[in-house]
Amino acid sequence: MVFLRPILAQTQSIRRFSTAKLRDILSKDIQITPSKTLKSIPPNKDLVFGQSFADHMLEIDWNNKSGWEAPRIKEYGNLSIAPSATVFHYGLECFEGMKAYKDRNGTIRMFRPDMNMNRFLKSCQRLTLPEFNKEELLECIKKLLLVDQRWIPSERGYSLYLRPTAIATQESLGVGPSSKSKIFVINCPVGPYYKTGFAAVSLSATSHYVRAWPGGTGDAKVGGNYAPGIRPQMEVGQKGYAQNLWLFGENDNLTEVGTMNLFVFWKNAQGEVELVTPPLDGTILPGVTRDSILSLARLWGEFKVSERNVTMPEVTQAIDEGRLLEMFGAGTAAIVSPIKNIFYKGRDWPIPLDPKDSSSQAGALTKRFADTIMSIQYGEVEHEWSVVVKQ
């Protein structure tokens, strides 16, 4: 199987579907209708990911006659959508996950939101959902953040998770580009992924189910990438594993873990200390945390940093030879997720955590990435990745 050129890189052909003549999103036109009743905010200790939503949401409707309508910030509430809308039938939907933080001065910050807007646009283009001005959408999201700012937790480790979503709302069963669509943004306060320090996870290497394929949509954040992974996760969950380690191809290439990108830190077969993550070949989601980790590691210049394929046999050989140092997942929810074990070919393969501290649930490099990124997210060090939202 020859790997194909990632489809999202072909921006020339995407341009042909541009809706440039239609009205674009204009943040200055935003209509804000504050909710009449404000909800009580759950205590930080009670937060469960994605279950409590803030008072407001952002909605922007589009149609193929006039383009984007005026953005609206209004009370969080149900959408009224025709049962024939293509979002219910053909998976015409994509989304982003991003966070807003309060630093110790109470300033609202976002983390590399331009990368989320870039990827959101590319996901929409892949599905022929309408294009939009990324800066203007981000401005609208910032206005939503200001309206809902009391929902942004102040405590370090806590944040307001933002979920921009695009759905097709055309009321027709034809399989084709949608004549109507909607972007909405909802937000919910979330706690740290590991409330009491890291908890390393056991994975089950999975090749029977395949997450993504060349020529598919593995490099776009589209809804259809996620539903098929739930059953595989339940199946390994019943055997005591937290997540699937998604393999690909006859060489059992590592690709992703659950819904996160994957990193291997090891002394490679040539004896070099190296941080490796699978390349953006069209099957890998271009994660913001993934990119941040690669950038930091390259800046530090302390070890080799590679985007290339790694196979499970290479990993198990490194374990056998004592060369594997750390493995972790990377994503917006957890920043990093240390891995302690992989089930593969009928046995469990232990992954080292911290050789200097047997009680530790994460290796030194894993922790260093988490600390460095958090210190940027919470404005403890000045960095261009942390974007202040002005009142």
Contact pick of 54, 57, 242, 342 for its own copies (by CB under 8 A): 57
Alpha-carbon distance of 114 to 122, in angstroms, equals 12
CB of 219 to its own copies, least distance (A): 12
CB of 78 to its own copies, least distance (A): 4
Contact 160, 100 (CB under 8 A): yes
Q: Is 313 in the site for its own copies (CB under 8 A)?
A: no
Q: Is 381 in the site for its own copies (CB under 8 A)?
A: no
Which tokens hold the place of 189?
């306060």
Question: Residues, the chain, total?
Answer: 391
CB of 381 to its own copies, least distance (A): 30
Contact pick of 19, 41, 61, 177 for its own copies (by CB under 8 A): 177
Distance of CA 42 to the CA centre of its chain: 24
Kindly indicate which of the ranges 78-86, 196-204, 261-269, 364-372 contains the residues binding its own copies, using the contact rule CB under 8 A: 78-86
Q: Which residue has the tokens 């952002």?
A: 58
Alpha-carbon distance of 3 to 255, in angstroms, equals 14
CB nearer to its own copies: give 258 or 352.
258
CB nearer to its own copies: give 234 or 381.
234
Q: Is 174 in the site for its own copies (CB under 8 A)?
A: yes
Contact pick of 214, 331, 338, 379 for its own copies (by CB under 8 A): 214
Contact 314, 342 (CB under 8 A): no
Q: Is 331 in the site for its own copies (CB under 8 A)?
A: no
CB nearer to its own copies: give 289 or 372.
289
Alpha-carbon distance of 160 to 154, in angstroms, equals 10
Query: Within a 10 A sphere around the Cβ of 199, how many other Cβ atoms?
Result: 15
CB nearer to its own copies: give 81 or 388.
81
Q: Is 300 in the site for its own copies (CB under 8 A)?
A: no
| Residue 198: Cβ-neighbour burial (10 angstroms; 0-12, 13-18, 19+) | buried
Q: Which residue has the tokens 């290339």?
A: 308
Contact 148, 55 (CB under 8 A): yes
Number of shown-chain residues binding its own copies (CB under 8 A): 75
Q: Is 28 in the site for its own copies (CB under 8 A)?
A: no
Alpha-carbon distance of 3 to 115, in angstroms, equals 25
Which tokens hold the place of 174?
């034809």
CB nearer to its own copies: give 10 or 317.
10
Kindly indicate which of the ranges 12-20, 65-73, 340-348, 359-367 contains the residues binding its own copies, using the contact rule CB under 8 A: 12-20
Helix H or strand E encompassing 287:
none
Q: Is 210 in the site for its own copies (CB under 8 A)?
A: yes
Site for its own copies in 128-167 (CB under 8 A): 128, 161, 163, 165, 167
Q: Map residues 241-280 to x or -, x wherever contact with its own copies holds by CB under 8 A.
A: --------xx--------x---------------------
Supply the DSSP string of 205-239, one letter for each residue.
EE-SS-S--TTSSTTS-BGGGTGGGHHHHHHHHTT
Site for its own copies in 97-126 (CB under 8 A): 125-126
Contact pick of 30, 55, 72, 93 for its own copies (by CB under 8 A): 93
Nearest of 187, 165, 188, 171 to residue 60 by alpha carbon: 165
CB of 330 to its own copies, least distance (A): 16
Q: Which residues pair with 304 in a beta bridge?
A: 274
CB nearer to its own copies: give 8 or 110.
8
